Structure formats: C-alpha cells, structure tokens
Amino acid sequence: MIQFVEFVYLLIPILIIALIAWVVVRYYIKTEKEKLIVRIGLKNKDLITPVRLQAYERMVLLLERMASSQIVLRNVSLGQSAVQLQQSLISNIREEFDHNLSQQLYISTEAWLMIKSAREAAITSINEAAGKLEADAPATDLAQLIFQSELSADESEIQKALEYLKNEARILF
C-alpha cells in the first residue's frame, strides 16, 4: 500500500508536467499555424493585387474602346457601306469583349454585369442607328447617326460602367 501511495505521489507531478507540456506544445503549434496562414495570405495578396489592378485597367480600356466615338473612328473606311460598317463595329465589340472574358475573375460581379450591359447597349445603339438607314447607305451616314445618338444620350451605359469600375478600383486599391 505504501508503494502505491509513493507511486501516486510520483505520478501526479509527472501527469501535471505532461499536461502543461501538452498545453504549451498545442498553443505553440496553433500560433505557428496562424502565423503561417497570415504569411501565406500576405504573399497571395502581394501576388494577386497587381493582377487584379491589371484586370481593372483592361476593363477600362475595353469600355473606352467600345465607346461609339472610338470604335467608329477605328473601323470606318472610304467606300464602305453602312451594313459593312455595322457588321465591322459589332464584330469588333464582340472580339474585344471575348478577348477580355477571363478578367471577370478579378473584378466584382456587379462590375462585370455593368460591362456586359454596356456591351449590349453599344451593340443595340449601332443596330438602332443602322435600322434608320437604307440598305445601300454609305458608312459615313451610319457613323453620323451613331455620333448623334451618343451626343443626345444623357449618360451612356459605358460611362456608368466606367465610373463604377473607377470607384471600385479606388476603394480596393
């Protein structure tokens, strides 16, 4: 019986020391894990931030290139018919948009929806202007109608999307 009591007296401090060691090791592992997560997060942020900023830049460029004044000037040529210009403008808008599809990963859903809406509004504007002309009308007539439509509009979908992107980028960066 005395041996049992002595054994218990020896066992209690060993158990206390083991428990304290277990708590300390567990705490150390937990804090190291948290530090590692923070370091990985900072490293990921350092890597992704330039890519996200570049995505915003590309989306602004896309919107600027879809603006009526810019796209017409890039696509109109002498001897071209209004139908040819219409097809060229719509094709150009779709190609520009398709080229930048992957950028939606880096911008907000709201911004992406506004960009899609701006694209559709630009195509609709071109089609409406073309619908007002005869089939054999020259491209300059279509260009003139598109410019007039842009001037008479209060604020285009493209401008709204541009402002939204700029504000979002300012908040994030």
E strand or H helix at 15: helix 2-66
| Contact between 165 and 116 (Cβ < 8 Å) | no
Whole-number pLDDT of residue 2: 82
Give residue 5's pLDDT band: very low, low, confident or very high (50, 70, 90): confident
Asked whether residue 77 is assigned to any structural domain, the reply reads yes
Whole-number pLDDT of residue 154: 73
Q: Which domain holds residue 91?
A: 49-172
Give residue 150's pLDDT band: very low, low, confident or very high (50, 70, 90): confident
Asked whether residue 17 is assigned to any structural domain, the reply reads no
Most confident of 48-52, 111-115, 135-139: 111-115
Over residues 10-35, the mean pLDDT reads: 95
Over residues 146-164, the mean pLDDT reads: 89
Asked whether residue 165 is assigned to any structural domain, the reply reads yes
Asked whether residue 35 is assigned to any structural domain, the reply reads no
Whole-number pLDDT of residue 142: 95
Asked whether residue 26 is assigned to any structural domain, the reply reads no
Q: Greatest CA span in the chain, whole angstroms?
A: 116
Over residues 41-66, the mean pLDDT reads: 93
CA-only gyration radius of the chain, Å: 32
Q: Over the chain, what is the mean pLDDT?
A: 93
Nearest to 129 by CA among 144, 141, 145, 116: 145
- Please state the domain count of the chain: 1
Structure tokens at 89: 């403008």
Q: pLDDT tens across 84-136, in order?
A: 999 999 999 999 999 999 999 999 999 999 999 999 999 999 999 999 999 89
Asked whether residue 18 is assigned to any structural domain, the reply reads no
Whole-number pLDDT of residue 113: 97
The DSSP output letter for 80 is -
Share of the chain above pLDDT 70, in %: 100
